[in-house]
Structure 1
């Protein structure tokens, strides 16, 4: 076991502080942008007449960031900070204390890591890592997309807002959210089994060198590979976001993943001056029933472009990974 000194603690504190200040607004905006429900069809009013959808129409990533700031201010941009901090701190301390990782390069979040023994060990490690962190991901996504202002230092109160009574009684039901585990597993499998080996073949790293072998044609081929991969991974990320914020319920009068009507409401503060929600959320009384059903309904109700929201961020993430292969 590795014990932290004063300097190590300061480095970790600085790293986590940067994580919160920089990544929370960016990742929170991405979650909201991909979670925003914007059906393209007409709705019927009380008299049966057709009327257009009146929810927020946000078509760009930065447009969503501006909308969050205008409606909820800086506090809204930093929603999800506490679960992000707790998750990052826990994983970092585990990596440093038990796996011998350096506190000067703490565990990164949002990417797959594993042993360098081969594809299969890395795949197994990455799936296990996903299973361990899945509840934290769900809580973080829900804390970002909830219209309520959650207290920073009252975790039990926040959990009563974010989780249904069924989920609080049976926390393992989070793993049974229809399609979520499958979507995450497909994403991991593609990255570990396909994208990374191909990336290492295109940009090989000479023995003893920390820098991959670059050339014009190799970079061009890698560029195309990452672009095509973004076309596969981005819909999976959008679907995973939609499924993660979909709450589970086991009441017989509703669908098994629908929201409970009673015992599910908490008195929570609203944002001052917020007369409308930042994003629109799909009714939980008509939930997605799995990965394929979610993709089909998104295309039918909102159009195929919804599956590619912020695709360029997935693409830039793939390009940035070139130096770490």
Structure 2
């Protein structure tokens, strides 16, 4: 499972990851299962709702793949945030952070596209962007990089994977010879699986928080703080999905956003419990297991 596929599944889960605040009566049904949420999205939004993130994912994949083919010196490039050319540890870390910075705006757009209650056009990009980006973000696209806490969560995730998990995998599970079946030691493979379990305990909260922080839209008006959404002139012409008078998605109150990485972690634990940081942990775990054969 590549990092891109992993993040896309995580974004789908954002339908129930984004908010279970301290006042449950204000947010509609609470869904805590991946397949239950998939069923609910299909019931309310149909197939179009399940594919709301297709276009930004498709375009970002083309862009990143093209960038690697044109500018990266690697004989067989593949799409994935943490796949880097063979180089030193610092070189790999630098490469991965650069790729994350390139992909970050499209990741934000993908997450917001998936969780928005509005029907987005596949081919009218301008109208779709007006629905998911604030006027401030459209005027100053670089402000997406200043979303409170988001870069911290992303960089920490990269450091743990590249500096921690990567070298341990290469130490315990050497790269097999070309054309041969990997002959791994059962003991070393077992140790690596334990390492994957431990890193999942750290990576899963980072991924959940990354999605929550990415969905918060930036606004620079004086009457709101820096992550509140704008009301006037924002997504006025967009049509919402309708399904039995149910809310399509419950986002965090715009008047009470997360103010940063630490604030997000503390308030999620205080408002929703520690388990909120481990929603869909099994996806992170399966991604770690998939790294056994990824070289």
Instruction: Write the distance in 2 (CA, Å) between the matches of 1:259 and 1:188.
Output: 29
The answer to whether 1:107 aligns with 2:78 is yes
Deviation at 1:25, TM superposition (A): 7.7
Q: Which has the larger radius of gyration?
A: 1
Cα 1:100–1:42, aligned 2, differ >3 Å: closer, same or farther? closer
Instruction: Write the distance in 2 (CA, Å) between the matches of 1:191 and 1:42.
Output: 36
The answer to whether 1:217 aligns with 2:187 is yes
Instruction: Write the distance in 2 (CA, Å) between the matches of 1:230 and 1:243.
Output: 20
Q: Which moved more, 1:115-124 or 1:91-100?
A: 91-100
What are the equivalent positions in structure 2 for 1:63-82 lying under 5 Å apart?
63-82=36-55
The answer to whether 1:38 aligns with 2:44 is no
Cα 1:231–1:201, aligned 2, differ >3 Å: closer, same or farther? same
Alignment-derived partner of residue 144 in structure 2: 174
How large is the RMSD of aligned CA atoms in angstroms?
2.3
Cα 1:156–1:248, aligned 2, differ >3 Å: closer, same or farther? same
Instruction: Write the distance in 2 (CA, Å) between the matches of 1:163 and 1:195.
Output: 35
Deviation at 1:216, TM superposition (A): 1.8
Deviation at 1:284, TM superposition (A): 1.8
Alignment-derived partner of residue 15 in structure 1: none
Question: Deviation string for 1:62-120 (max 9, x for gaps)?
Answer: 11111111111111000111111111111222333444767xx76323x3122211210
The counterpart of 2:100, out of the listed 104, 108, 130, is 130
Alignment-derived partner of residue 294 in structure 2: 324
Alignment-derived partner of residue 205 in structure 2: 235
Instruction: Write the distance in 1 (CA, Å) between the matches of 2:169 and 2:161.
Output: 10
Higher RCO structure (Cα 8 Å, ≥6 apart): 2
Alignment-derived partner of residue 252 in structure 2: 282
Is the contact between residue 180 and residue 240 of structure 1 (CA under 8 Å) also seen in structure 2?
yes
TM normalised by structure 2 equals 0.91
SS at the partner of 1:248? coil
Instruction: Write the distance in 2 (CA, Å) between the matches of 1:135 and 1:26.
Output: 18
Is the contact between residue 247 and residue 257 of structure 1 (CA under 8 Å) also seen in structure 2?
yes
The answer to whether 1:29 aligns with 2:2 is no
Q: Which moved more, 1:62-71 or 1:269-278?
A: 269-278
Where structure 1 has 5 or more consecutive residues not aligned to the other structure, the ranges are 1-19, 44-51
Question: Deviation string for 1:140-165 (max 9, x for gaps)?
Answer: 10000000000111000111111111
TM normalised by structure 1 equals 0.83
SS at the partner of 2:191? helix
Where structure 2 has 5 or more consecutive residues not aligned to the other structure, the ranges are none
Is the contact between residue 56 and residue 280 of structure 1 (CA under 8 Å) also seen in structure 2?
no
